Chain A
């Protein structure tokens, strides 16, 4: 049967409005609320709970869950299902995310909406399966071969795992782009309070279907019905008879593998359809920044010890603030540049050997000192450790 979102049934399956659940389960909840109709996944620590949640809940709202043969297949299946007109999702961790890169690129090239939750763990390779990390922040941005952009969100709390999964779907549907929730093993396995939004407390963006005459429809160009670089979506089975290929294609979707202009036009459009909206996509949280002279710039799990340190520092009279990046890619260039002109020093705590510190350095004013605070091995900074790093910069 074909999936149709049934809000009443979804709420019934999710249960109580206030719950104490793990981040991974909150991701599954967010997917269900957003209206995911197909989930394809493969077991991997620390992301398996997302698939387990989906396996338990999705059939009960008439959606389809399939445990695929691997992460390559998972990514392929959700793209196939998306062309069937459904909202689709998978979840994985580093090793699986590496396998997904092939079809992540395919989804970008073919402008296929879908959502990937990457519950990051340490790497390279198998690394520390049960422990959290933030080592894939560059992989999500640059992981496919060729020119690309990413849309990636970073939850710091279990509630954000739910809310941001919904947001991932909205952005994915709006821009026709694979959107990645960059969570991690720490937040993924943490239990916290979650409030499940009611139907009128959520905004859902639905993919804009192709509606114009079939013989006038051009599938891979600016929308023919709106002022947008995102074309309207000709779901399979709706009579548009669209040819979708990962090869460079012209506006009609036909391969144009030896044509420089077609390639340039296509790639420029699928990149600028997102980067043109950089300001709209900027999503940061500011804590104690009004009079700050020194600031943390953080994202995801590592924002949590930093926030503790901001409170400790303020108690001790240090003018410390924090900018938390909620949407990491496209990178919030303007906000970082403005902050760098306001504070003397920016400290970037990360659970890696320095990844987001690179774009921060790139877009910060040259007069601002950038300090990379690194911790690897599956643990985030202890507040005391981070406090010492802060003190050293005063």
Chain B
């Protein structure tokens, strides 16, 4: 069995020293997420020359700059469209996208919908911190009802975007959601996502004490991590309670955020289907060229 590196060795192998320190604040969960991706890649023994990281705009989108691999830091919300082209050009490479909740589902919502619908063979690590962090704490499409942001100073009145449910409905091959506060499940899901043919979405709930926590009485990182524990529920448990629980129990979990693997399907990704189309056409053309009919 492969001997595992410790966290320091991992960072030495995968991080770009010249880019340190990162832009991340104290208590930010994005570093954890990055560590989990390193663990997953290490366990999968990926060749860093054959992995490309792409991103849009926002805190999470800065991550590819810290990784010692090809990185495409693109425009706000467009990373998935860029990735679609990149994967078409280099189907032999693994394309891993870092995006945020605002980047992916606000300005980039349409690209997200269609990349998932096409089942483009890429892995999306979506870091959801409920807020626009880099621009100073504006309201995100994922903000819980009642939460405070600079552009919802009296409390958010909009429903929060359930990204995983949308991805599931679009037929994405793999969909999972975990808080970064527990390492094992995210690492496992990232691994599964990378290995999966087709579109894989791993939504990681990542705390932002600076822009979100501070305004929502969760400025202390322990409080934020505790909030995850108190407000999330394993989807299996949720279903069980909804099926067999008392009305009281149901009421208690109704507004909790479900976590787990929402979808895990084996089906051809876009480029596999495209290759089949090409093969079919080439066969016809070649037959014709040889004088057949």
A-side residues, CB < 8 A to B, are 1-3, 9, 12-13, 37-38, 40, 59-60, 62, 64, 66, 68-70, 72-74, 76-86, 88, 102-103, 106, 236-247, 252, 254-255
Please give, as numbers and ranges, the residues of chain B lying within 8 Å of A239 by CB-CB distance.
49
Choose one: A2, A83, A102; the contact of B92 (CB below 8 Å): A2
Query: Is A77 touching B289 in the complex (CB atoms < 8 A)?
Result: no
Q: A79-B82, A242-B70 are in contact. Are A69 and B65 (CB under 8 A)?
A: no
User: B230 an interface residue at 8 Å Cβ cutoff?
Assistant: no
- 25 A–B pairs (Cβ distance < 8 Å), ordered by A: A3-B89, A59-B278, A68-B81, A68-B84, A72-B81, A73-B81, A76-B111, A77-B84, A80-B72, A80-B85, A80-B86, A81-B89, A82-B85, A236-B70, A237-B92, A237-B93, A238-B49, A239-B49, A241-B48, A242-B70, A243-B65, A243-B70, A243-B71, A243-B73, A244-B70
Choose one: A12, A85, A88; the contact of B90 (CB below 8 Å): A85
A168 vs B19: C-alpha distance in the bound complex, in angstroms? 36
Q: What DSSP secondary structure best describes chain B's contact surface? A: helix
- Determine how close the nearest CB of chain A comes to the CB of B283; give it in whole angstroms: 11
Q: A73-B81, A243-B65, A244-B73 are in contact. Are A62 and B278 (CB under 8 A)?
A: yes
- Determine how close the nearest CB of chain A comes to the CB of B196; give it in whole angstroms: 20
> Which 5 A-B pairs rank lowest in CB-CB distance, beginning with the nearest?
A84-B89, A80-B85, A77-B85, A81-B85, A76-B81
- Determine how close the nearest CB of chain A comes to the CB of B50; give it in whole angstroms: 6
What residue of chain A has the Cβ atom nearest to residue B288's Cβ? Answer: A12
Please give, as numbers and ranges, the residues of chain B lying within 8 Å of A88 by CB-CB distance.
85, 89
* Binary interface encoding of chain B residues 1-40 relative to chain A, with 1 for a CB under 8 A from any of its CBs, else 0: 0000000000000001011000000000000000000000
Query: Is B91 touching A2 in the complex (CB atoms < 8 A)?
Result: yes
Query: Is B111 touching A73 in the complex (CB atoms < 8 A)?
Result: yes
Q: A69-B110, A246-B75 are in contact. Are A240 and B89 (CB under 8 A)?
A: no
> Using a Cβ–Cβ cut-off of 8 Å, how many residues does chain B contribute to the interface with A?
45
A155 vs B28: C-alpha distance in the bound complex, in angstroms? 54
Please give, as numbers and ranges, the residues of chain B lying within 8 Å of A246 by CB-CB distance.
73-75
Query: Is B111 touching A241 in the complex (CB atoms < 8 A)?
Result: no
Q: How many A-B residue pairs have CB under 8 A?
A: 159
Query: Is A80 touching B82 in the complex (CB atoms < 8 A)?
Result: yes
What residue of chain B has the Cβ atom nearest to residue A72's Cβ? Answer: B78
- Determine how close the nearest CB of chain B comes to the CB of A104; give it in whole angstroms: 10
* Binary interface encoding of chain B residues 88-107 relative to chain A, with 1 for a CB under 8 A from any of its CBs, else 0: 11111100000000000000
Query: Is B52 touching A237 in the complex (CB atoms < 8 A)?
Result: yes
Query: Is A243 touching B64 in the complex (CB atoms < 8 A)?
Result: yes
Q: A60-B281, A254-B19 are in contact. Are A79 and B85 (CB under 8 A)?
A: yes
A77 vs B111: C-alpha distance in the bound complex, in angstroms? 11
Q: A38-B88, A77-B82, A85-B90 are in contact. Are A106 and B74 (CB under 8 A)?
A: yes
User: B247 an interface residue at 8 Å Cβ cutoff?
Assistant: no
Query: Is A85 touching B89 in the complex (CB atoms < 8 A)?
Result: yes
Choose one: B49, B93, B274; the contact of A64 (CB below 8 Å): B274
Please give, as numbers and ranges, the residues of chain B lying within 8 Å of A238 by CB-CB distance.
49
A74 vs B68: C-alpha distance in the bound complex, in angstroms? 28
Query: Is B75 touching A106 in the complex (CB atoms < 8 A)?
Result: yes
Q: A59-B278, A103-B78, A252-B18 are in contact. Are A83 and B72 (CB under 8 A)?
A: yes
Q: A243-B64, A243-B65, A252-B18 are in contact. Are A62 and B282 (CB under 8 A)?
A: yes
A20 vs B196: C-alpha distance in the bound complex, in angstroms? 47
Q: A73-B78, A73-B111 are in contact. Are A66 and B91 (CB under 8 A)?
A: no
- Determine how close the nearest CB of chain B comes to the CB of A350; give it in whole angstroms: 32
Query: Is A84 touching B90 in the complex (CB atoms < 8 A)?
Result: yes
B-side residues, CB < 8 A to A, are 16, 18-19, 48-50, 52, 54, 64-65, 68-75, 78, 81-93, 110-111, 113-114, 118, 274-275, 277-278, 281-282, 285, 289
Query: Is B85 touching A237 in the complex (CB atoms < 8 A)?
Result: no
Please give, as numbers and ranges, the residues of chain A lying within 8 Å of B18 by CB-CB distance.
252, 254
What residue of chain A has the Cβ atom nearest to residue B114's Cβ? Answer: A69
Q: A9-B285, A83-B89 are in contact. List 17 more A-B contacts (CB 8 A).
A: A2-B92, A60-B282, A66-B84, A72-B111, A73-B111, A76-B85, A76-B111, A77-B88, A80-B72, A80-B83, A81-B89, A84-B93, A103-B78, A241-B69, A243-B70, A244-B71, A246-B74
Q: A40-B85, A252-B18 are in contact. Are A247 and B73 (CB under 8 A)?
A: yes
Please give, as numbers and ranges, the residues of chain A lying within 8 Å of B93 by CB-CB distance.
84, 236-237
Please give, as numbers and ranges, the residues of chain A lying within 8 Å of B91 by CB-CB distance.
1-2
Please give, as numbers and ranges, the residues of chain B lying within 8 Å of A62 by CB-CB distance.
278, 282
Choose one: A84, A242, A254; the contact of B88 (CB below 8 Å): A84
Query: Is B85 touching A1 in the complex (CB atoms < 8 A)?
Result: no
- Determine how close the nearest CB of chain A comes to the CB of B70; give it in whole angstroms: 4
Choose one: A59, A78, A80, A241; the contact of B49 (CB below 8 Å): A241
- Determine how close the nearest CB of chain A comes to the CB of B245; give it in whole angstroms: 41
Please give, as numbers and ranges, the residues of chain A lying within 8 Å of B275 by CB-CB distance.
1
Please give, as numbers and ranges, the residues of chain B lying within 8 Å of A237 by CB-CB distance.
49-50, 52, 70, 90, 92-93
- Determine how close the nearest CB of chain B comes to the CB of A56; give it in whole angstroms: 10
What residue of chain A has the Cβ atom nearest to residue B49's Cβ? Answer: A239
